[in-house]
Structure formats: C-alpha cells, structure tokens
C-alpha cells in the first residue's frame, strides 16, 4: 500500500493543466481498472458554510453523480464508493434518519441515468439495520442494472472491512463444518472469494477526500498493494478534474508489488 501526499513535481505539473488536458492525458496511458473512493468531508463542508451537516450530504450526491459519469466516460471498469460505514450508526439519530431519506430519494432519481449510461450497480456491506423500504429500493436498482456491461459501481453501505473479513471467515468455517472444504485448502484465493467483492479486482487506486490520512476500515484486505491519493478537497467540491488528476498521478507511480 503506497501513499503519496506531498505536492511533488508531478503534482505541481498536473495542477497547471485544465480538465480537458488532464482527461486527454490519462486517456493516452493505461487506466486503473478499479478506483475506490473514501468520500469524506460532507459534514465539515457544511459546517464551514454555516449549514447543518446534512446539507453537505445533499451536495455530496451531486459529486457522486459527476464522478460516476466521469469514470464511465474515460473507461474505468470498477468504481467503489464508501457511502456509509457500520460505525456511522453512532452519529446523531436525526443525521442518520436524514441520510436514509436522502439515500432513498437518490436511488429513485439515479436509476434512469444508471440505465442510460450502462452502469451496473452493486452494494457491499451488511444489509442489517437498513430500513426495509431503502433495502427494497436498493434491490430494485441492483436487479434492474444487473445486465449492464459498462462501469460497475459498487456502493459500500453499512460497510466495515473487519465485518467483511469476519463474514468471510464464517462462510469458510461453515464450508469446513459441512464437509465442502478442508482447512488446509483455505488460502488467499479462497478467502478473497468469500469477501463481498468476489469477482471484482482489487483497487488499483484509492482516493480519500478532505485530507484525512487514514483508510477508516475500508477494503482492508483488498488494498494491500493499492496506490493512495489524498486530497484536501472535501467530497462536495470533488470534481471530474480531481478524479483525472488522481489517475494522472497514479499513472506516474512505479508499482512493484513488493518486488525490487
């Protein structure tokens, strides 16, 4: 897992380029297949403007829409967005209920565009604690987009990486108990298949907005060799240009995967 947050020569060069120039630049080089994003800073964005924290979540939906469009248009195959963690339920109850209502409305609004853009929608995380009506709408979008062949959008909802690893271990333990698997057959490949992200390549690039320098219990198994890119920009202000800048810097990295 590599981290680069200092504004080196490449970052300075990229900062001088416009959105179209950045887009053309990344299209001339191999793209990351899978980009994951920790969408951080909604509440701080709102507080800085004298608005209630939930206002930031509403603006964050616009950033999601623009990022999904941009990722699909340049040909990124997988985009995973950290929408809510299992720890988010500890936030004030009015914020949690507003988030649920926002999610419900957003799902209904975004389905036509997901279909028009050939986006396949998946959700990773534990389905418990999700209101039944929200879960019904999520299931509807997953089913409606299942045959789409463009960008695969994974929404991490009520997600925690430690929960994911625990659930994977439980699945493997059940297989051993029922005689379908020997303990000696458990390896990285089998554990990977037991994760929520089965069938999805590990992220090549992980973006975190709002400047925090941590991974916050997100895809801990999958990001073992992922390149990290942190921006001080809060999620509501994140634009396609920011995505292109992250990809452009990623394309300059030397990925050795533990080798010399």
Q: What are the residue numbers of the active site? A: 40, 88
- DSSP letter at 154 equals E
How remote is the C-alpha of 58 from its chain's centroid? Answer: 18
H or E stretch including 80? strand 78-82
Where helices occur in 117-160 by DSSP H, the ranges are 132-144
At residue 31, the 3 state secondary structure works out as coil
At residue 211, the 3 state secondary structure works out as coil
Half-sphere exposure of 32 (CA within 13 A, CB side): 31
Torsion angles phi and psi, residue 40, rounded to 5: -110, 150
Give residues with Cβ within 8 angstroms of 50, minimum separation 6. none
Determine contact, residues 232/211, Cβ cutoff 8 Å. yes
Determine contact, residues 61/155, Cβ cutoff 8 Å. no
- DSSP letter at 203 equals P
Determine contact, residues 34/203, Cβ cutoff 8 Å. yes
């Amino acid at each position: 897992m590599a981290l680069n947050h200092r504004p080196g020569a490449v970052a300075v060069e990229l900062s001088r380029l416009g959105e179209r120039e950045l887009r053309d630049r990344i299209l001339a080089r191999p793209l990351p297949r899978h980009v994951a994003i920790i969408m951080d800073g909604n509440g701080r964005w709102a507080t800085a403007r004298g608005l209630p924290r939930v206002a930031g979540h509403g603006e964050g939906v616009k950033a999601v829409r623009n990022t999904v469009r941009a990722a699909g248009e340049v040909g990124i195959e997988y985009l995973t967005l950290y929408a809510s963690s299992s720890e988010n339920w500890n936030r004030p109850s009015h914020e949690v209920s507003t988030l649920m209502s926002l999610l419900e409305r957003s799902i209904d609004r975004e389905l036509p565009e997901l279909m028009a853009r050939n986006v396949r929608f998946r959700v990773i995380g534990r389905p418990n604690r999700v209101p039944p009506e929200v879960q019904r709408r999520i299931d509807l979008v997953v089913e409606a987009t299942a045959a789409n062949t463009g960008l695969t959008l994974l929404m991490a909802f009520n997600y925690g990486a430690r929960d994911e690893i625990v659930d994977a271990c439980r699945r493997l333990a059940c297989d051993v108990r029922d005689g379908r698997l020997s303990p000696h057959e458990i390896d990285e490949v089998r554990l990977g298949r037991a994760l929520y992200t089965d069938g999805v390549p590990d992220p090549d690039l992980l973006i975190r907005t709002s400047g925090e320098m941590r991974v916050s219990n997100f895809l801990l198994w999958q990001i073992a060799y992922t390149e990290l890119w942190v921006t001080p920009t809060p999620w509501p202000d994140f634009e396609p240009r920011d995505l292109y800048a992250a990809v452009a810097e990623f394309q300059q990295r030397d990925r050795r995967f533990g080798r010399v």
